[in-house]
Amino acid sequence: MMEARVDPDRSEWDVIVLGGAAAGENAAQYATQFSGLDAVLVEAELLGGECSYWACMPSKALLRPAEVLGGARHVPGVSSLLSGRELDVRAVLARRDTVVNGLDDSSQIRWALGVGIDVVRGYGRLTGERAVTVETAAGGSRALTARHAVVIDTGSRTTVPAIPGMSEAHPWTSRDVTNLREVPRRVVVLGGGVVACEAATWLRALGVEELSVVYRRAGLLARSEPFAGRMVGDQLTAAGVRLLPGRSITEVRRDDPRDTGVGLPHGGEVTVRLDDGSTLVADELVLATGRTPNTEDIGLPTVGCPDGGFLAVDDEQGVRAVDGHWLYAVGDVCGRALLTHMGKYQARVAGEVIAARATGGPAVGAWSGPPGSADGHRGNPQVTFTDPEVGSAGVTEREARAAGLDVATVEYDMAALAGTYVMREDYLGRAKLVIDRDTDTVVGATFVGSGVAELVHSATTAIVARVPLPVLWHVVPSYPTASEVWLRLLETYRAQKQRVG
pLDDT tens column, 159-181: 999 999 999 999 999 999 999 99
Taking residues 216-226, what's their average pLDDT?
Answer: 97
* DSSP assignment of 218-262: SSSSTTS-HHHHHHHHHHHHHTTPEEEET--EEEEEESS-----T
User: Is residue 460 within 8 Å of residue 379, measured between CB atoms?
Assistant: yes
pLDDT digits (tens, 9 = 90+) for 472-490: 999 999 999 999 999 999 9
What pTM was estimated for this model as a whole?
0.94
CB 475 within 8 A of CB 490: no
Beta-carbon contacts of residue 77 (< 8 Å; ≥ 6 apart): none
Instruction: List CB contacts of 239: < 8 A, sequence separation 6 or more.
Output: 204, 387
Burial 108-130 (b: 16+ CB within 10 A, else e): bbeebeeeebbbbbbbbbbeebb
Q: Nearest-CA neighbor of 86 among 99, 73, 102, 103? A: 73
pLDDT at 74: 87
Q: How many CB atoms lie within 10 A of CB 149?
A: 28
> Among 369, 430, 378, which Cα is nearest to 400's?
378
pLDDT, tens only, 5-47: 577 789 999 999 999 999 999 999 999 998 999 999 999 999 9
> Which pLDDT score is estimated for 6?
72
- What are 63's strand-pairing partners? none
Of 11-15, 299-303, 421-425, 453-457, which gets the smallest average pLDDT? Answer: 421-425
Q: Is the pLDDT of residue 363 over 90?
A: no
Q: Evaluate whether 319 touches 124 at the Cβ level (below 8 Å).
A: no
pLDDT in tens, 39-71: 999 999 999 999 999 999 999 999 999 999 999
CB 178 within 8 A of CB 92: no
Cβ atoms of residues 286 and 270 within 8 Å: no
Q: Which of 415, 442, 419 is nearest to 431 (CA)?
A: 415
CA separation for the pair 42, 39 (Å, rounded): 10
